[in-house]
Each structure stands twice: as structure tokens, then as C-alpha cells.
């Protein structure tokens, strides 16, 4: 009688190919080896995948911001890495479970808006969203620039803009008017590069911490003013009130405080 083979692997291989036991065992082994290889590849490729997702996100943000007239130049001058975050305006903190891609759907819910009373509503909006997407430019660990969407009522209707603030959160780095209904040749001149070019370097708050920015009725006479547009007093007042509202306590005030405390 031949010696019995005690090696299980050799015993398995010795079985006929049509053996059900051999078929099941080989299938199990192939599945186990494949799973191990896939798991290993996933672990090995995870850093590359993370880097690729980060690069894609940067490209998406850059494309979005560069579509805003004048913002590409401001970003080039500032340097750093651009990121985006959804902020709870009441607290000034990032909303961890609300990504920018989810914001539009979230704002379809009336509960995610705050009604403004007459004393609050400097910008003439009636209500403002509880959550909003902002853009931050970082130089190493510090915020060097923040891009803030703002809106308000002008003479002809709503004015939308992006206001860029330098890292001190008190100096305007630039402005881009993205939508308006102002009178061509009068208030409509707020889209002109020459008028917007006055904003960089303008300060928002005086030494007491009060918001002092305004569009002057004529020529600017202080660090807190930009020239008005002849024949467009109501448009200028609309821009003034829009900036004052959004930089105040019912707008980005809590966010600005958080950035100045180093929480972003």
C-alpha cells in the first residue's frame, strides 16, 4: 500500500480537475489572493488618489474664481493656496457636514435663511442665507486673502459682488461686481476697471473699530473712501450699505473675528 500523502496542498492538486472539492478550493484561493492584491493596491495608491482629488479640487476652485472678473490678478499678486469652505454666518465657523456642492440644495429650505428687520437690513435684502461659501487663500498656516460674496440693492436693482480682503481683514484687496441692473453710463460704471481699481488699499474700520467705509459723493477724502460716480449717488449709497452690512455683525463679522483669532 502506497504511503499516504499528508501534505494538503499536494493532496488537493492530486485530485481530478473535475472534482468539486478541487474547483471550490481553487476558486476560494483565487478570490482570497485577488482580494489581498486589491487591498494592497488600495493602500499603496491611497496617497496618490488623495493627491489627485486635492489637485482636482484646486483646479475646480481656481476655475470658479478665475471666472470672476479681476480676481485672477488679485490671486496672482497674493500667492498661496486657495481653498473654499461653507461658513455658518451666525457663528463664523466652518460647517463640517455641508460641502460647497451641497449648498444650493440646502438653501432651498426656507429654514436656512434669516429674515432681517429694518434696523439690520442695511443692504435692503430682506433676508440673508444662514450658510455661504467663501474662499480663503493661505500663505503657509495663515490666511493671506479671503474672497467674500456680497450683495445689496442699488438704484436699479440687486448688485452682486465679490469683495477681497487682505489677511488683516481690514484692508480691501479688490472688488469684482458680478451682477447689477444699474443705469448704463451712470451707476452701471461700477463695473469699470478704473472705478474698481480704487478699492485696493482702502480700509474698512477706523481706529475705534467702527466700519467707516463708504463711496463718497465726490472725490474720496480719507483712507475709508472711494470716489463716487457723478450722477449715481444712489448706486454709491447702495455699494456703501452693501459693504457695511456684510462686514458687520449680521454678515461676515463673526467670520472675520474668527480669522483674526487664528481659527482658520
**What is the three-state SS of 169-195?**
CCEEEEEEEEECCCCCCCHHHHHCHHH
Task: Render pLDDT for 92-107 as a digit per residue (tens, 0 to 9).
Answer: 999 988 988 899 999 9
How far CA 234 is from CA of 53, 182, 202, 221, 223, in Å, comes to 46, 10, 21, 19, 21
Q: Is the pLDDT of residue 55 over 70?
A: no
**What's this model's pTM, rounded to 2 decimal places?**
0.72
Mean pLDDT across 167-196: 91
How many CA within 13 A on the CB side of residue 221? Answer: 3
Cα distances (Å, whole numbers) of residue 163 to 42, 44, 119, 177, 226: 42, 42, 23, 9, 14
pLDDT at 57: 47
**What is the distance between the alpha carbons of residues 29 and 14, in angstroms, rounded to a whole number?**
16
Which triple of cell numbers denotes residue 23? 474547483
Q: Which set of grid coordinates corresponds to residue 22?
A: 478541487
* Mean pLDDT score, 226-230: 93
Q: How far apart are CA 154 and CA 49, in angstroms?
A: 47
Q: Mean pLDDT, to the nearest integer, of 185-199?
A: 91
Q: What is the pLDDT of residues 24-46, one digit of tens each?
A: 778 888 888 888 887 777 666 55
Mean pLDDT of 170-186: 91
Q: Which residues contact 153 (CB under 8 A, 6 or more apart)?
A: 123, 124, 125, 159, 238, 241, 242
Q: Which residue has the higher pLDDT, 45 or 149?
A: 149
> 180: helix, coil or strand?
coil
Q: What is the DSSP letter of 255?
A: H
Cα–Cα distances (Å) from 257 to 53, 168, 206, 233, in that order, read 31, 11, 16, 31
Mutual angle of helices 20-66 and 71-78, in 10-degree steps: 100
- In this prediction, residue 34 carries a pLDDT of 83
More confidently predicted of 126 and 68: 126
The chain-wide mean pLDDT, for the chain, equals 84
Q: Which residue has the higher pLDDT, 8 or 121?
A: 121
pLDDT at 61 over 70: no
Q: Show the DSSP H helices in 122-249 as ranges.
A: 193-196, 233-246
CB atoms within 10 A of CB 259: 21
174 or 80, greater pLDDT = 174
d(CA 162, CA 175): 6
More confident residue, 16 or 13: 16
Query: Do residues 144 and 80 touch, judged by C-beta distance below 8 A?
Result: yes
pLDDT of residue 40: 73
What pLDDT shows up at residue 240?
96
State how far the Cα of 248 lies from the Cα of 245, in Å rounded to an integer.
5
Q: Supply the pLDDT for residue 131.
A: 96
Amino acid at each position: 500500500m502506497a504511503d499516504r500523502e499528508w501534505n494538503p496542498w499536494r493532496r488537493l492538486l492530486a485530485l481530478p480537475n473535475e472534482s468539486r472539492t478541487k474547483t471550490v478550493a481553487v476558486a476560494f484561493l483565487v478570490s482570497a489572493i485577488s482580494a489581498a492584491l486589491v487591498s494592497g493596491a488600495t493602500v499603496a495608491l491611497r496617497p496618490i488618489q488623495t493627491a489627485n482629488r486635492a489637485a482636482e479640487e484646486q483646479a475646480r476652485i481656481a476655475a470658479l474664481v478665475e471666472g470672476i472678473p479681476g480676481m485672477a490678478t488679485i490671486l496672482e499678486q497674493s500667492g498661496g493656496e486657495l481653498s473654499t469652505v461653507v461658513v455658518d454666518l451666525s457663528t463664523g465657523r466652518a460647517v463640517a457636514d455641508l460641502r460647497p456642492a451641497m449648498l444650493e440644495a440646502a438653501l432651498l429650505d426656507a429654514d436656512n435663511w434669516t429674515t432681517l428687520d429694518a434696523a439690520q437690513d442695511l443692504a435692503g435684502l430682506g433676508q440673508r442665507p444662514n450658510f455661504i461659501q467663501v474662499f480663503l487663500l493661505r500663505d503657509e498656516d495663515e490666511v493671506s486673502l479671503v474672497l467674500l460674496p456680497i450683495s445689496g440693492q442699488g438704484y436699479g436693482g440687486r448688485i452682486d459682488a465679490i469683495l477681497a480682503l487682505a489677511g488683516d481683514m481690514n484692508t480691501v484687496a479688490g472688488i469684482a461686481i458680478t451682477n447689477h441692473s444699474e443705469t448704463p453710463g451712470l451707476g452701471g460704471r461700477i463695473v469699470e476697471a478704473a472705478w474698481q481699481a480704487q478699492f485696493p488699499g482702502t480700509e474698512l474700520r477706523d481706529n475705534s473699530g467702527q466700519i467707516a467705509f463708504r463711496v463718497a459723493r465726490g472725490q474720496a477724502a480719507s483712507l475709508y473712501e472711494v470716489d463716487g460716480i457723478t450722477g449715481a449717488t444712489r448706486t454709491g449709497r447702495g455699494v456703501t450699505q452693501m459693504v457695511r452690512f456684510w462686514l458687520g455683525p449680521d454678515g461676515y463679522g463673526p467670520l472675520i473675528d474668527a480669522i483674526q483669532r487664528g481659527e482658520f
